[in-house]
Amino acid sequence: MRTTARPWTARWRPALAALALLASAAQAQTPPPFEDSMAQRLLACTGCHGPQGRAGRDGYYPRLAGKPAGYLYQQLLSFREGRRQYGPMNTLLAPLSDDYLQAIATHFASLDLPYPPPQPPAMAPADQLRAQTLVRQGHAQRKLPACQQCHGEALLGRQPGVPGLLGLPRDYLLAQLAAWRQGERRSRTPDCMADIARRLDPEDIRAVADWLSAQAVPTGAKPAPASDEKLPLQCGGLP
């Protein structure tokens, strides 16, 4: 007995029903709300600088969270205006206004987040002494002020525009001091950090970076408040 072929609608009815069910379920699901906040917008920053700007894992991208807003703003301006050269940062910031850069700086400066424990490097006693002398006392004959004269006695920075030196990866400290020394990183004239970096020997830079990166950041530590105390050098990059 010959059978008649089923119409195509009958043959595909189960598949069509399944598709209709999936479409209905998709329509029933509402998309999650978009959080229009600075934290959401700045995921482009924290992709490299770590969650909430805590620092990248590769040891090169520095911490942003808790740094003085004036310092962060000046660095964003420097990237946008080409005084600091790093392609992704220069491109990312090129279209942004001064006001938006200030909003970015204010956001990261407001974050109060704990620092990870440091990883103490193996330093020879002579290198430790060299680093501590430069950081705490400077070197008068070479016209090198102590790091803490500008960056605060606790080396955690000074409001409104001097950054802290603790809680930074060793590789980042090495790279930035070398960039200043070689003219690859610049600030507004007078460029005090460029002058200091050029007076440091490569052995000084290595010892200071090793020592600073090995220091723990005290719990609840913050930059020192603004002060009328005169800095040992004029710095054009300060707000």
pLDDT tens-digit profile of 146-192? 999 999 999 999 999 999 999 998 999 999 999 999 999 989 899 99
The identity of residue 9, as a single letter, is T
Q: Is residue 178 part of a domain?
A: yes
Euclidean distance between CA atoms 237 and 53, whole angstroms: 22
23 domain-assigned: no
Q: Is 18 part of a structural domain of the chain?
A: no
Q: Which domain holds residue 79?
A: 38-213
Output the pTM of the full model: 0.79
In a domain, residue 60? The reply is yes
CA pseudo-torsion sign 220, 197, 57, 109: positive
Residue 170 placed within a domain = yes
What is the structure's pLDDT at 3?
A: 47
Total domains, the chain: 1
CATH code where residue 102 lies: 1.10.760.10
Token pair 């090793």: residue: 210
Among residues of the chain, what percentage have pLDDT more than 70?
A: 86
| Phi, then psi, of 10 in degrees rounded to 5 | -70, -40
Is there a domain that residue 230 lies in?
Answer: no
pLDDT higher than threshold 60 for residue 231: yes
221 Cβ neighbours under 8 A, 6+ residues apart: 115, 154, 156, 166
Q: Is residue 7 part of a domain?
A: no
User: What whole-number distance in Å separates Cα of residue 158 and Cα of residue 149?
Assistant: 10
